[in-house]
Every structure is written in structure tokens, then in C-alpha cells.
Amino acid sequence: MYFRRLLSLTLLVFALSISAVGAAETGGLAEISDRLSKSPIVRASFTQKRHVEALTRPLLTEGKMVFAENQGLAWLVEAPFKTNLSLTRSHVTEWNEETARQRTPLSTRPALSALVTILMPILSADFEGLAENFVVEETVSENSWEVVLTPRGTAMFNIISSIEISGDSVVRELVVREARGDWTQLLFTNYLPDATPLSAKELRYFQE
């Protein structure tokens, strides 16, 4: 249960971070948007550190992600243990080395359904209207940029107090600060937006 909540938060962090990029097209951040690489397929490695006030050390998670515009998003956790999740517009599929694939309609998973409603348009570069959800502060230098988002709505603000995103031609780092004091840092490496078709292995992530 805890891992699923953590994974959902991680995906939400990623979704909201890209929404900040989307806000560039509607909120005066066009320069940042122009710098970012855009592609129907994105691959990256990630390291997540979740800082919980009750714990002395952060919870570390590492893995890879694959986004394909015509398929969905695969989030592949490799450490501390392997588990996988793929999201499409209609279903969520979970599996690991010991369990078979479990495919569930998103209609039975309202939290993930809401996530996909935000996530898929964002990753598909359909950013219209997302800026209205955040107060946006941006800093742009010659080789890098940073955006700080503060939720406008009370409901979201009760969960997340701010989101910090930074990068260059891609998103490199995300920091999500929760209202209760916990915070999550995501670092992306080997971030490769390109048009290389999905491999046979990657296609299997999205099989029914």
C-alpha cells in the first residue's frame, strides 16, 4: 500500500513538472518551452529521494521510465526492489518478476484515472489551460532555468505546498514539497527524447 502511494506520488510529481513546462506556452515562459527537447518518445533514468520527517534517512528509489505518445507511460522501479507499472488512457497494468501482469480498468482506480487525465495531455504537449492551476515563478539563465509552482486551488495546496523544477534542454530535477513537511526529490539522467521506435521489450510494457 505504501509503495503504491509513493509510486502514484512520483508519477504525479512527474506529471506536474511537465505541466510547468506546458505552462510556458500559455503563461509567458515561452523561452523555457523553446529550449526543451520535444519528442513522441522519451526515455530516462531516475533517482528518487523521499524525505519523511519521521525518518532519519531518505527513502531511495531508482529506475527507468519510458513514455510513448501512442502507447502510454511505463515506470520501471529497479531498486530497492523491482516492480513495474504502465499507464494508458484506459488501463493500468502492474507486474514484477514474481507476479503476473495485473491489468485494471482506470475506471476502478479513480486516483490513477485523475492522474492520466493530467499526464497524457502533458506528455503529448497538449498544454492548454494547465497554467491556471499554478502561480508560476521562473528564473532563466544562459544555460539553465528554474520554475517554482504554487498551487492555486485549496484542495491541491492542502497536499502540495510547492513544486520546483529545473533543467536545460530537458527536465533535470524536481522537488515537491508537501504541506505536512515531507518532500520528494527526483533526479533524471540519461534523459533521451528521440524518435527511435520502441523496442520489442518496451512494447511488451504496454501489452494487455
pLDDT at 39: 77
Residue 2: pLDDT band (50, 70, 90) is: very low
Residue 194: pLDDT band (50, 70, 90) is: confident
Number of domains in the chain: 1
pLDDT at 45: 93
Question: What is the strand order of the sheet 183-194 is part of?
Answer: 102-105, 91-95, 83-87, 72-79, 59-68, 41-51, 183-194, 171-178, 160-167, 145-151, 134-140
Residue 200: pLDDT band (50, 70, 90) is: very high
State the pTM of this model.
Answer: 0.73
Nearest residue to 21 via CA among 132, 139, 127: 127
> 104 or 23: which carries more pLDDT confidence?
104
Residue 68: pLDDT band (50, 70, 90) is: confident
Q: Average pLDDT, stretch 77-97?
A: 87
List phi, psi (to 5°) of 132: -70, -10
Residue 128: pLDDT band (50, 70, 90) is: very low
Residue 27: pLDDT band (50, 70, 90) is: very low
pLDDT at 203: 92
Nearest residue to 133 via CA among 113, 166, 157, 167: 157
Q: For residue 139, give its domain range.
A: 2-204
Q: From the CA atom positions of the chain, what is the Rg in Å?
A: 16
pLDDT at 7: 57
Q: Average pLDDT, stretch 42-59?
A: 90
pLDDT at 126: 47
Whether the predicted pLDDT of 78 surpasses 90: yes
Minimum mean pLDDT range among 17-21, 51-55, 134-138, 198-202: 17-21
- What is the CATH number for 130? 2.50.20.10
Whether the predicted pLDDT of 93 surpasses 80: yes
Q: Average pLDDT, stretch 61-80?
A: 89
